[in-house]
């Protein structure tokens, strides 16, 4: 291993297999580059970012949340088991740990419940509920339905800031 210490406190290590480990003293951050092109950045708050040669990226946050960006698609897995998938076109699918599924597109928002009920709110405010029994109804009320606006079971899906 070849170690280089810089005047600002940074340290660079090159291992025999050509793995390069660079420690940024002021930021207390470690950047490791592996021979296969994978790069891993570790921050002092325990956040880790992994960059792959194909352009994909994985971030593990201190709370256990994991985001993956690959092929124009983002997948976020929260510690409670909730999974959010965002496609390149902006369509979003949320899979809740209790079996519920929510789909957001430019045209509608839909929630599918484990028992088979499906509630849809269209962009024009039209709402529709279909029950597993086959019966259903729709209305032209404006605004979001109670399951979307209550916040009781709807996990916020704000964009997480990375370093």
For 141-152, the pLDDT digits (tens) are 444 444 444 333
Q: Is the pLDDT of residue 156 over 90?
A: no
* pLDDT, tens digit (0-9, with 9 covering 90-100), for 121-137: 888 888 888 887 776 66
Query: In the chain, what are the domains?
Result: 1-61 (2.60.450.20), 72-153 (2.60.450.20)
Higher pLDDT among residues 128 and 47, named by residue = 47
pLDDT for the residue numbered 133: 78
Q: Is the pLDDT of residue 33 over 90?
A: yes
CA dihedral 73, 161, 154, 84 (to 10 degrees): 20
Q: Is the pLDDT of residue 153 over 50?
A: no
pLDDT for the residue numbered 137: 61
Q: Is the pLDDT of residue 163 over 50?
A: no
pLDDT for the residue numbered 152: 38
Q: pTM above the 0.75 mark?
A: no
pLDDT for the residue numbered 142: 45
Q: Is the pLDDT of residue 115 over 50?
A: yes
pLDDT for the residue numbered 136: 60
* pLDDT, tens digit (0-9, with 9 covering 90-100), for 65-104: 999 999 889 999 999 999 999 999 999 999 999 999 999 9
Query: CA dist 81 to 1, 98, 100, Å?
Result: 41, 9, 12
pLDDT for the residue numbered 127: 86
CA distance 117 to 73: 28
């Amino acid at each position: 291993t070849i170690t280089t210490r810089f005047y600002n406190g940074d340290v660079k290590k090159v291992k025999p297999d050509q793995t390069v480990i660079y420690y940024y003293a002021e930021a207390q951050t470690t950047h490791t580059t592996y021979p296969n092109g994978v790069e891993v950045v570790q921050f002092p708050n325990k956040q880790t970012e992994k960059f792959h040669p194909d352009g994909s990226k994985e971030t593990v946050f201190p709370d256990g949340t994991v985001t993956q960006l690959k092929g124009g698609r983002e997948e976020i897995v929260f510690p409670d088991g909730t999974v959010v998938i965002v496609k390149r076109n902006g369509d979003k699918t949320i899979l809740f740990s209790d079996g519920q599924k929510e789909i957001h597109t430019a045209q509608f928002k839909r929630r599918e419940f484990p028992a088979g009920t499906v509630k849809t709110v269209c962009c024009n405010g039209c709402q529709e509920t279909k029950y597993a029994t086959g019966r259903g109804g729709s209305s032209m009320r404006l605004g979001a339905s109670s399951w979307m606006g209550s916040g009781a079971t709807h996990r916020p899906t704000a964009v997480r800031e990375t370093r």
